[in-house]
Amino acid sequence: MIGDEPLSTDELRRIDRTIRADWPTGEAVDFQEAVAYHESLPRHKRFADVLESADRPLLQPRAGVPLLEDQIDLLEYLRESGEADLLPTTIDSYTRDNEYGKAQEALEAARESGGETLNGFPAVNHGVDGCRALIEAVDGPIEVRHGTPDARLLAAITFAGGFQSFEGGPISYNIPYTKRHDLAKTIEHWQFVDRLAGAYTERGVRINREPFGPLTGTLVPPSIAITVMILEGLLAATQGVRSLTLGYGQVGNVVQDVAALRALRSLGEEYLPNDVCVTTVFHEWMGGFPPDEARASGVISLGGLTAAIGCPDKVITKSPQEFRGVPTMEANAAGLRTTRQIIDMALEQTITIDGIDDEQRLIERETRALLDAVDAHGDGDLVRGIVRAFETGALDVPFAPSESAQGAVLPARDDDGRVRILEFGNLALSEDIKAIHAARLAQRAETEGRERSFRMVADDVDAISDGRLIGRPLGGERRAD
Amino acid sequence: MVLHTMSRTVVLGVIGSDAHVVGITILEQAFRQAGLTVINLGVQSSQTEFAEAATQHDADAVLVSSLYGHAEQDCQGFHETLEAHGVDALTYIGGNLAVGQNDFEETRRTFQELGFDRVFDAETTPEDAIAALERDLRISTTANERATVTT
């Protein structure tokens, strides 16, 4: 197994040659020329600089369509009518599976019919020139957002194509996304992506990297998400990444979400090397949305309020059409403006809520325990520690489809709607921490007059789309006493 | 009601390239709590994986989940695959079985014709599935076992 060591220049070049042969557009990648291209970009398109110098949370939507012209129009619309500060380019599913041939067929079909034959922008097929045409036409910084376990060719082409921010990581784009990708192999693939970002960084082009914080997007306990963020941050830092944005997905309880955002920033700064600039990103609710645009706007607004109090550097917004999949550009822009309105109103006042410090302390204790367990599993090597900790279940992600993880952890909300752990599997938390979770869930069980069980989990998964936070039985009414 | 009853083995999985994991995770918990032995194949499981697991564990029931609308394609020849592996088990399927499920009775007939003993829609609770298994597998509880029933 590979270790947590920087790839050598020779190794970087060797892998680069191999992966660029995977698809014809790989040919056009020229690192020296690409560095010069990045230097020619104006400051307001340099992703890391814009993000790191912001004085309020910046907003970014998700958006990706197959054709270049349509993608330009979509991003310009979201920038102008949605007031997006940062822009995305979401990559299609074929590219995520490294099926560039299928993506090409679908892209050609889209060019003929104009239809939506792909669920994103096939950046590998568009190649370096296509990416640069997008970067030049859109008047803001753009990030590559995807979900690709082996993103080496995608990174080589999009970095050369002028993108300066790249989402994902070896844990966050493997464990929640796929069943059969071996974790050690995925870490090796991301070492290349991060080393390439590091090589640009050393030449003065700081590529921002963003591990995917929401993981499975379904009731993920904050300490598990933060642990994964720090681990991926450490792996990226080893390869020379110096601009890292750590992520966290809203769970819907304001106290827990604010506490988690503060813990994420505090532990990120503590654990990552001093020469890494750490920023944070808050994802608006990633679970099921109400099938009603007015109610969905309510969910989005709670995310905006939470962001104003928790002050992440960036917020990834949702649209009021979330329940039905990919939104229209108008709905996407509406989600951005709803969020902007709430954040800007809330930022102008002081909002003090009790309980945030206690919750933050609990999250930090749990995170430290999980990070210690990874360390203990590694015999001095972080990569080995991560792979073994997932194997034993000492580190685990709820609802993970991957065979590299146990997937034995089951979360449920407590009586206040905070996400606690019902089933721990082998998760490396101490008995006293487990007792806190058990007590909180017992309190909910008493309120609801039922046993703690998987029924709570099932009810909680649907609760927000059903118009509530907590999955209470019998229409969610609390017992009268 | 949760029955602690005689050990019966069920194979559970999501068929095809479907990656929806939340539903079967909850079903696995529910079935275990009901006293069943559960072999959970997880998401993205092939027909052969279902058949091999059923043979290996001498399963009493094979429970197929599908939520992405392509179940009909994924289940073509499923029962022939089971038969070829010598599997003689009850078969259920449940989830969002067709894109735009307008008429569930039609969907039910389609999957019954494919050979499934029972067909469930996405609104089915774990308790409904357990009740059906109890009926179909003739699981009965003795008075003594009833005393350990939790509600």
What ipTM describes this predicted complex? 0.77
Our answer to whether residue B121 is catalytic in this structure is no
Tell whether B17 is within 8 A of chain A (Cβ): no
CB contact under 8 Å between B33 and A461, yes or no, is no
Which residue of B22, B32, B36 to mutate against A (max A Cβ within 10 Å)? Answer: B22
Which residue of A177, A399, A403, A451 to mutate against B (max B Cβ within 10 Å)? Answer: A399
Q: Cα–Cα distance between A287 and A85 in angstroms, integer?
A: 24
State which residues of chain A have pLDDT below 70. 475-481
Does residue A368 sit within a domain? no
Name every chain A residue with its beta carbon within 8 A of the beta carbon of B33: 453-454
Does residue A441 sit within a domain? no
Q: Cα–Cα distance between A90 and A127 in angstroms, integer?
A: 15
CB contact under 8 Å between B150 and A457, yes or no, is no
Is the pLDDT score of B147 beyond 70? no
Our answer to whether residue B18 is catalytic in this structure is yes
pLDDT-based confidence at residue B102 (cuts at 50, 70, 90): low
Domain that holds residue A321: 9-347
Does residue A45 sit within a domain? yes
Residue A479, pLDDT score: 42
Name every chain B residue with its beta carbon within 8 A of the beta carbon of A457: 26, 29
> Tell me, what amino acid is at B69?
G
Q: Which of B97, B38, B105 is nearest to B65 (CA)?
A: B97
Q: How many CB pairs under 8 A join A and B?
A: 43
**Active-site pick, A62, A132, A152, A167:** A167
> Considering Cα of A120, then A123, then A129, then A133, what sign does the dihedral take?
positive
How much is the pTM? 0.92
Residue B150, pLDDT score: 42
Does residue A421 sit within a domain? no
CB atoms within 10 A of CB A275: 8
Does residue A70 sit within a domain? yes
Does residue A425 sit within a domain? no
CATH number of B9-146: 3.40.50.280
Does residue A436 sit within a domain? no
Does residue A396 sit within a domain? no
Is the pLDDT score of B1 beyond 60? no
Distance from the Cα of B23 to chain A's closest Cα (Å) equals: 8
The beta-carbon neighbor of B22 closest among A180, A399, A453 is: A399
What residue spans define the domains of chain B?
Answer: 9-146
**Average pLDDT of the residues in B82-99:** 93
CB atoms within 10 A of CB B8: 19
Is the pLDDT score of B123 beyond 90? no
Distance from the Cα of B42 to chain A's closest Cα (Å) equals: 7
**Active-site pick, A20, A96, A265, A388:** A96
Domain count, chain A: 1
Residue B17, pLDDT score: 86
